[in-house]
Amino acid sequence: MNTDVYKESPVVHQPAFIDGHSVEIPILKVLQQDGNVYDGAELPEIDQELATKIYKTLAFHRVLDERMVASQRQGRLSFYMTALGEEAASVGGAAGLKPQDMIMAQYREQGALMYRGFSLENFMNQMFSNEKDLGKGRQMPIHYGSRELNYMTISSPLATQIPQATGYAYGQKLQGLDAVTICYFGEGAASEGDFHAGLNMAAVHRAPVIFFCRNNGYAISTPADEQYAGNGIASRGVGYGIKTIRIDGNDILAVLKATQDARTYALAENKPVLIEAMSYRLGAHSTSDDPSGYRTREEEAKWQAHDPILRMKNWMLANKWWDEEQETTLFDKLREEILAAVKVAEIIDKPPVEDLITDVYDEPPTLLKAQLEELKVHIKKYPEAYPFTAGRIK
């Protein structure tokens, strides 16, 4: 039994209630909005090659979000979620890791997958749920996954990936791999019971997992001050006995530095780390949401000035690693490529009807095979009602 608390705590004889905000949590900032590094700031490991890769990924993210929201508005796509204003969290996090590290995301971290090299075609095929989608068209748009790139398939239920990440990292530790797991979630998801379960178990069982919270101020319409009354998410890490850091989530260098150091620590000590990245969700929650119902244009404008991509661009320009001509060429090229990819993906066939029953189990049970056969007979009887599959039944 751990009785240290009795030995180590100072003793008082009048009641002394501790204020939840009495622990000060500093916020790591490395890069200023104008592109200058703060005096005395410690830089992450980064060179021109890595910086260029990160910047191009951020640009791709920004343009993909623009184009796909437009596609959804045109009715070409059922649903989309942007990561406008907080792209640095996902891209910088992935850049601070090794390819063998597992990424378990919530849904607003497609930037990490972009950084890992998921192809434009793969993004499109998933969003248009066509037969070339790795997920066989079963999930809503933006629920990406890739075994090859160590990016766990997204699911909609919030925070379920948090204890899973602990278990995944524990398995990596058992095998003695040079690999950690990073687990992304929003500050809203951190209110779920699975957040408590995952962090506590990671600390107790010493799992090399990096918990990366994107605190962007809102969970759909709910502002953070209706989500919790404590000192953000970071203060909870301390309570679980987890090394914790709060960073400026719009500062790509701070994100990269924190993630690189967290990885080194998690692997060396077999212990979890909690990173709380403070940011702002500049876009709507999703294409099904209109933020004008719950927040002001002034507030949004204030945060426009903290754009993480512009901040990195300023730094790249100051380093002479980038110029305006490269900028224009890159963004024009991305817009063209993405538009062209939409046109290809949206006319690819839907998955065959047989894909309805595969992968429920490793092998379809007898009853499920019988249900498929019944369905095929039905479709053949009313082919006009099922235009995507009727002509393709074997």
Residues 254, 234: Cα–Cα separation, whole Å: 16
Could you tell me the two tokens for 53?
């890769």
> Could you say whether residue 170 binds another protein (CB under 8 A)?
yes
Contact with another protein (CB under 8 A) among 72, 106, 122, 166: 166
Region from 46-54, 154-162, 297-305, 334-342 binding another protein, contact rule CB under 8 A:
154-162
Q: Which residue is catalytic, options 21, 73, 138, 294?
A: 294
**Checking DSSP bridges between strand 218-219 and strand 222-223, what pairing results, if any?**
antiparallel
> Could you say whether residue 168 binds another protein (CB under 8 A)?
yes
Q: What x-and-dash track marks residues 365-394 binding another protein by CB under 8 A?
A: xxxx--------------------------
3-state helix, strand, coil in the chain (%, to 5): 45, 10, 45
Determine how many CB atoms are found less than 10 A away from the CB of residue 360. Answer: 10
Q: Catalytic site residue 281?
A: yes
Query: Mapping DSSP to helix (H, G, I), strand (E, B) and coil, where does residue 37 land?
Result: strand
> Could you say whether residue 194 binds another protein (CB under 8 A)?
yes
**Which one-letter amino acid corresponds to residue 262?**
A
**Residue 65 or 101 with smaller CB distance to another protein:** 101
Query: Mapping DSSP to helix (H, G, I), strand (E, B) and coil, where does residue 58 land?
Result: helix
The DSSP secondary-structure symbol of 294 reads T
For the chain, first and last CA: distance in Å? 65
- Give the shortest CB-161-to-another protein separation in angstroms: 8
> Could you say whether residue 135 binds another protein (CB under 8 A)?
yes
> Could you say whether residue 29 binds another protein (CB under 8 A)?
no
Region from 20-28, 29-37, 139-147, 216-224 binding another protein, contact rule CB under 8 A:
139-147
> Could you say whether residue 35 binds another protein (CB under 8 A)?
no
Q: Catalytic site residue 107?
A: no
Contact with another protein (CB under 8 A) among 25, 197, 344, 372: 197
- Give the shortest CB-245-to-another protein separation in angstroms: 23
Q: Which residue is catalytic, options 62, 214, 236, 285?
A: 285
Contact with another protein (CB under 8 A) among 164, 216, 250, 314: 164
Q: Do residues 144 and 123 lie in contact, with contact meaning Cβ atoms separated by under 8 Å?
A: yes
Residues 251, 29: Cα–Cα separation, whole Å: 7
Residues 225, 255: Cα–Cα separation, whole Å: 24
> Could you say whether residue 157 binds another protein (CB under 8 A)?
yes
Contact with another protein (CB under 8 A) among 193, 223, 239, 391: 193
The 3 state secondary structure assigned to 137-204 is: CCCCCCCCCECCCCECCCCCCCCCHHHHHHHHHHHHHHCCCCCCEEEEEECCHHHCHHHHHHHHHHHH
Residues at the interface with another protein (CB under 8 A): 102, 104, 133-136, 138-139, 143, 145-147, 152-153, 155, 157, 160, 162-172, 174-175, 181, 193-194, 196-198, 200-201, 204-205, 358-362, 365-368
List the catalytic residues.
281, 285, 294
